[in-house]
Each structure stands twice: as C-alpha cells, then as structure tokens.
Structure 1
Amino acid sequence: MIGIFRKRKEVKIIHRYINERVAVFIDGGNMFHATNALKLKINYRRLVEILRKDRWLLRAYFYTGIPSGDLPKEVREQLRRQQGFLNELQNAGIKVKTIPLKKTPEGYIEKGIDILIATDMISLAYKDAYDTAILVSGDSDFIPVVEKVQEIGKRVENASFKKTSSYELRKVCDEFVLLDNIKHRFTTPLIPPKKEEEKSFVQKMKEFLKNIFGVKR
C-alpha cells in the first residue's frame, strides 16, 4: 500500500527526427583534462561511431589550441607530437579546427575555442546542415549556444566524462551520455597494467603442493 505513494522516477522522453542527420562537435581541451585525470587514451573515430549510432553523419569536428611563434625546445617537441595526433584525426575523417594558444607568464592557455565551436554549431543549424548536434564537452559556457540551436529547431545531445561535466549543461540538452559508463568501448589505459612477475619453479611447486595437499614447504 505504501508503494503507491512513492515518488516515481522521472523518465525523459526522447524525440527523434526521421532520417536524422547529426554533426559532432568535440571540445579537445575539455576532453584532454578529463582523460588526463583518468589516465586514458581515446580512440576518437570509435567514439564518433558510438555517438552517431545508426544516424547519418554530416561531419565530426575536433577543436583545439596549438602553440605558435618562437617556441622553446620542449614546446616544439610537444607540438610535433600534437601535430601527429591531429594528422591521425584528419586521416580518420574528423575535421580538425585549431586556434593559436595564448602565451602567459604561467604558460600557454586556450582562449576562443568555445566561440569557434559556438559559431559552427549555430551557423550549421541556420543552414539546416544537421538535425541534431552532439556536443562532446562538459563546459557550462555552452548553455546559451545549446538554447540558441534549440530555438532554431534542432536537437542537442551532450556527451562528457563526469570529471569535467556540468550538471546545468546536461539538464538543458535533449539527451546526455555519461562517457564513464561506456569508456571501455573507446578508450585504452595510458599506463598499461603491470604484468604479473614470472614465478620461480620453487614458488610454483609450493603453491601446487599447498592447493592439492594442503602441505607447506
């Protein structure tokens, strides 16, 4: 009897377009901070395929900042590795968009990426290039952008790791995917687990005798 007074869990109704077209917008900096903390490496091609599901993909975009100008040796080496990674994304069919990093006394910082993503999301929405935008970021600064895209008549899905996810952003989007729950499908550990050291013959014999006869040697 008491059960009828329990508060029912709200179920979010998800509406989809017929022959739905999607575009994926990946905030590289936001994803880097999340995966760096979790010690994971992302297969972005696989991630895009998971998020698009069986829908028609316009394009996946990856946004990041790169250092420029007169760079110290260690930064040049970092840039070389970054460029190799960005080339891999391009070869995987993901369009890379970059802006120069701002140099400060504390180091290089990323400025303007959110504006670049917002511009593309809204511009492509106005051009009716997609039905649903998939925003891969947890940055709450995107809330006004999401609402504007929705006003144009488009859906916005959000995907992010819990580490860098904004509750307010998740709430305003039409659908949310917590990447932590499916990370085994598109990530690998940055530091491979240590292999168990080979046991000596004597150790193996001790364990064998203990398990079979309960004998200690």
Structure 2
Amino acid sequence: MLFSYFRGLNSSTRQKLAFLTITLGVAIIERSLLPIFLLFPFVKQQALNQRLKNQLEQIDVKYRDLVTQSYPQILAQLQQLEAESSHLSRQSNHLTYLLKETEDKNQELAQKVQTQQTRQNLHVSAIHKLQNQVFKHEVKLNLIDKSKPSLLNSGFRERNILVLIDGANFDHSCRQLKLKVDYRKFQQALIKQLVNQQVIKSKSSHLFLNFRYYIGEDQDNQQQQNFLKCLRHLGYTIVSKPMIWQQGKPKANVDVELSLDLVQLGRYYQTIILCSGDGDYLKPVRQMQTLGRQVIVLSLSSMTSQSLKETADFYLDLAQIKEQIFYQNSSHPLVA
C-alpha cells in the first residue's frame, strides 16, 4: 500500500521524499543530527520555490481571467474606433470633393463677374458716347432755333459754362471743413461769387450752365440714391460708375470719365469750372487752355495740387463760399 502511494506522487515530490528518507537514514546510522540540520536550508528553499510557483500560478489564472473578460470589450472598442475612422475618412473625402466643387464654382463666378464688368464698362462707354451725341444734337438744335443765340456768337459762348464736380474729392474737402452742402444754394453761390470777382463777365441770369456730378454709385445705398435723385431734380447730370469693393473698402474711380468729359464736352464751352483739387486733371486742363478755354478750379486749398492751382486761369478756395452754401439741417436730402 505504501508503495502504491509512493508511485502516485509526482516525480518532484518523489525526489524530495527519497532525499528526505536518505537523509534520515544517514542521520540514524551516523547517530548525528548534522545531516538533518544540513537539510533545513534545502527544505526552506523548496518551500519558498513552491510558494513562488503557487503565486505565479495564481497570477497566471487571474491574467487569463482578465484577458478572457476584457478581450471582448477591447475588441469592441477597436471595432468602434475603426468604424469612426472609416466614417471620418468618408467625411474628409466628401469635404475635399465639396471644396473642389466650390473652388470650381468660384472660378466660374469670377469669370462671369469679369465678363459682366467688361460688359458694364462697354455699356458705360456707350452711354457716354450717346450723351455726347445728344449734347452735340442739342447744340445743332440751338443753331437752328432762331429764338436762341447762335454758338457762333462769341457773346453766347462766353455765357456757356460747364461745371464738373468730382464727387468723392469734393465731398472729402467738405468734410475737412465740416461743411454740409446745400447743392441748390451751391449752384447760385458759385456763379455769383465768380461774377462778383469779375472772373465771369456776364450776369448770372444770362448764363447757360451745365452741372455734372461724378460719383461711384452703390445701388444698395438708399441714402445715396435719394441724394442723387434730388441732384437730378435740381438739374445736375449724374455720371456714375458701379462701386467695387477692394480690400474691404468701396472704390469707384471716376477720374477717367471726368477727364474725358472735360476734353470732349469742354470744347463746346467757353468756361469750365473744375470742382476738384486732384493733380491728375492737370493735363486735360492744359489741353483745354490751348483751345482758348477758361478753366477755373474750385477746391479746398490744403487739399489742392499746387501745380493745378498755378495752371488754372482762376483758383477759388472752397472756404470762401462756405457760408453761402452751408445748410444747417444735416438730414436735408440735398445735403452731402
């Protein structure tokens, strides 16, 4: 029976039991406890190894249990992350496609805008040509209508006055003076001042006047539209160009239109009054002077080109007529 029990033990235990039996046998034969004392460190080490082994087995069991329990959750999280990554990738591709489509549309729109601007410029040019033709026809009608003085009469030419107002430049000068302009009074005060200073020889009641106002027009600005409507009612001819936004600021340069009218229309007038201090008008002013036309410049002295002052046949400082054209009610529609 003891032999059967011995065979049932594993090899490691059998080795330990055999070693212990031999040690005890030696101790009995030698009648000494020394072999038993020598056996203590070995037994102690074996016990320590056994405890470490048991702990490792427990740790291994816990690790397997942990892996078994956590793996499905980790796998599910990984699958969720892969799904989200796939969704984000699809969204990114879609956004890239939309961005490219938007860029293509912007390019197409820019081309359309450029084409439209070109057409507008052509239309504006055609309108200016038509205006000049209408004016020439009016001149011819004056020659035919005997009730009106003939343009061949030098006396009538002296009473023929063209007033060109650079709206942006003139308005800026008025703002510097903190001046609100009543453009009804302006028509009378300007001519009266020039007659009083004997710059213009004829009486103001005998003069043929053509007031033209040049401005960058904003169709969406109702206040500006009301102002221009009032100017037309007073007899001003409005020459405008659509406002263009550049770097967040509105811009519409009408210098070219004013210069062209100064040269093309100016030949039909004896006196030209330029309401601007911009030195860019120096060349057309000199050109009209070579044709024998009198050119008068009205502007704010501190904002006027010195060369333009010296070139003009007469220079009138805007500050001199400030009181005559001032309007106290700033909400009045004829006030700039």
The count of corresponding residues between Structure 1 and Structure 2 is 164
Compute the RMSD of aligned alpha carbons. Answer: 2.0
Q: Which amino acid is the alignment partner of residue 107 of structure 1?
A: K
- Residues 1:62 and 2:213 aligned together: yes
Candidates 90, 95, 118, aligned match of 2:259: 118
**Alpha carbons 2:189, 2:321 under 8 Å: kept:** no
**Alpha carbons 1:40, 1:189 under 8 Å: kept:** no
Q: Which amino acid is the alignment partner of residue 178 of structure 1?
A: D
Q: In structure 1, what is the equivalent of residue 285 of structure 2? A: 146
C-alpha offsets along residues 90-111 of structure 1, whole Å, 9 cap, x if unaligned?
Answer: 1111111100122112311122
CA distance in 2, matches of 1:151, 1:65: 30
Alignment of 1:1-217 (within 5 A): 18-19=155-156, 20=158, 21-53=160-192, 54-55=203-204, 56-67=207-218, 76=220, 79-111=221-253, 113-126=254-267, 129-189=268-328
**Alpha carbons 2:162, 2:266 under 8 Å: kept:** no
Give the CA deviation at 1:39. Answer: 2.3
**Alpha carbons 2:168, 2:215 under 8 Å: kept:** yes
Q: In structure 2, what is the equivalent of residue 13 of structure 1? A: none
Higher relative contact order, chain-length normalized (CA < 8 Å, sep 6+): 1
CA distance in 2, matches of 1:163, 1:44: 22
Give the CA deviation at 1:174. Answer: 0.3
Give the CA deviation at 1:81. Answer: 0.1
> Sequence identity, in percent?
29
3-state SS in 1 of match to 2:264: helix
Q: Which amino acid is the alignment partner of residue 134 of structure 1?
A: I
TM-score by length of 2: 0.46
Q: Which amino acid is the alignment partner of residue 145 of structure 1?
A: P
Higher helix share: 2
**Runs of 4+ that moved beyond 4 A:** 189-192
TM-score by length of 1: 0.69
- Judging changes above 3 Å, is the alpha-carbon distance between structure 1 residues 104 and 166 closer, same or farther for their aligned structure 2 residues? same
Which runs of no fewer than 5 residues in structure 1 stay unpaired?
Answer: 1-16, 69-75, 193-217
Higher strand share: 1
Q: Which structure would you say has the larger Rg?
A: 2
CA distance in 1, matches of 2:291, 2:168: 27
**Alpha carbons 2:190, 2:321 under 8 Å: kept:** no
CA distance in 2, matches of 1:115, 1:154: 20
Which runs of no fewer than 5 residues in structure 2 stay unpaired?
Answer: 1-153, 193-202, 332-336
Give the CA deviation at 1:191. Answer: 6.8
